């Protein structure tokens, strides 16, 4: 089980694919474990080496007392990349993970490009709480998916929802760690410094995102020097709902 350390915090990560290929790093959203990247892992591993890490608080990474800050999470990611020996990487970030990706690109030369799913340049005034479900409560885990996925997807894929509930029970954060991660979102504001991020950036956002408004995604793409916006029908977890289209766009973007 590969781990990296940032001070006393142990950080879990998984690597798959050809070590000689370009590396795609996946950074997750508030409260979710690595399960959320299963769809992108299947689509990108092979042509790329994929690296999925649990942010502090989630999955098999340590959960120190919060609140957390995005710069702490960036330092965690840097420790993981250093442990793996990654010099230049493509970064995919969802929600909170997208904020971490933005700050990583601002502070470091490691990112070659960014793909940002359902994220924003500022976290104030987002109501994240509907996304939380206690890992010990299967009903709450399923109910909270109504804020993350469209009703059409929920109704059409009950078997997928059942599997997601099981994965969430095993990997998602406790309430305390969820609050610590959510605090990092609330305090984040890069709206006046996006001009400092000059790597190609693809912003993909669900048009029906009930928690991270699509207008914030459009603003992010407009204000990034090399930003491109793609809106897709679907909810917050657009990488799951529209996985084939998202993966096709990620593949083409990273190849270019």
Summarize pLDDT for 168-227 with one digit per residue, the tens: 999 999 999 999 999 999 999 999 999 999 999 999 999 999 999 999 999 999 999 999
Confidence of residue 88 (pLDDT cuts 50, 70, 90): very high
Can you give the pLDDT at residue 223? 97
Can you give the pLDDT at residue 110? 96
Q: Which residues contact 231 (CB under 8 A, 6 or more apart)?
A: 204, 205, 206, 207, 214, 217, 218
What is the share, in percent, of the chain residues with pLDDT greater than 90?
Answer: 97
- 27 CB-contact burial (10 Å; exposed 0-12 / middle 13-18 / buried 19+): buried
Q: What is the per-residue pLDDT across 109-156, written as a single tens digit (0 to 9) for each? A: 999 999 999 999 999 999 999 999 999 999 999 999 999 999 999 999
pTM for this model (two decimals)? 0.97
- Whether residue 233 contacts residue 208, with contact meaning beta carbons closer than 8 Å, is answered with yes
Structure tokens that stand for 100 in this block = 């971490």
Using the structure block, give the residue that is written with the tokens 């929802």: 161
d(CA 104, CA 74): 6
Mean pLDDT for the stretch of residues 53-58:
97
d(CA 253, CA 256): 5
Say whether pLDDT at 61 is over 80. Answer: yes
d(CA 105, CA 34): 22
DSSP single-letter state for residue 33: -
Rg, C-alpha atoms of the chain: 16
d(CA 108, CA 105): 5
Confidence of residue 42 (pLDDT cuts 50, 70, 90): confident
Nearest to 120 by CA among 58, 185, 31, 71: 185
Q: What is the per-residue pLDDT across 89-116, written as a single tens digit (0 to 9) for each? A: 999 999 999 999 999 999 999 999 999 9
Q: What is the per-residue pLDDT across 69-82, written as a single tens digit (0 to 9) for each? A: 999 999 999 999 99
What is the share, in percent, of the chain residues with pLDDT greater than 70?
Answer: 100
Say whether pLDDT at 167 is over 90. Answer: yes
Can you give the pLDDT at residue 85? 94
Give the length of the chain.
Answer: 256
In SS3 terms, 138-161 reads as HHHHHHHHHHCCCHHHHHHCHHHH
Can you give the pLDDT at residue 120? 97
Can you give the pLDDT at residue 172? 97
For the domain bounded by 3-255, which CATH number is listed? 3.40.50.1820
Say whether pLDDT at 1 is over 90. Answer: no
Using the structure block, give the residue that is written with the tokens 């984040």: 188
Domain ranges of the chain: 3-255
As a whole number, the mean pLDDT across the chain is 97
d(CA 224, CA 199): 9
Can you give the pLDDT at residue 183? 98
């Amino acid at each position: 089980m590969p781990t990296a350390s940032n001070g006393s915090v142990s950080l879990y990560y998984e690597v798959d694919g050809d070590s000689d290929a370009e590396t795609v790093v996946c950074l997750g959203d508030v409260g979710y474990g690595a399960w959320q990247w299963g769809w992108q892992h299947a689509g990108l591993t092979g042509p790329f080496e994929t690296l999925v890490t649990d942010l502090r608080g989630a999955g098999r990474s340590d959960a120190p007392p919060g609140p957390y800050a995005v710069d702490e999470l960036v330092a965690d990611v840097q420790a993981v990349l250093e442990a793996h020996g990654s010099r230049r990487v493509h970064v995919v970030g969802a929600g909170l993970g997208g904020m971490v990706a933005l700050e990583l690109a601002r502070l470091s030369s490691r990112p070659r490009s960014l793909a940002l799913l359902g994220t924003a340049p500022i976290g104030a005034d987002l109501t994240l709480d509907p996304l939380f479900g206690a890992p010990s409560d299967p009903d709450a885990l399923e109910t909270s998916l109504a804020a993350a996925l469209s009703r059409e997807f929920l109704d059409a894929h009950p078997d997928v929802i059942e599997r997601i509930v099981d994965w969430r029970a095993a990997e998602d954060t406790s309430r305390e760690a969820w609050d610590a991660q959510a605090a990092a979102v609330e305090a984040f504001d890069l709206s006046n410094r996006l001009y400092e991020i000059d790597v190609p950036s693809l912003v993909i956002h669900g048009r029906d995102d009930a928690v991270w408004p699509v207008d914030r995604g459009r603003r992010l793409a407009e204000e990034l020097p090399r930003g491109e916006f793609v809106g897709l029908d679907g909810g917050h977890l657009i990488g799951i709902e529209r996985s084939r289209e998202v993966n096709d766009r990620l593949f083409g973007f990273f190849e270019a």
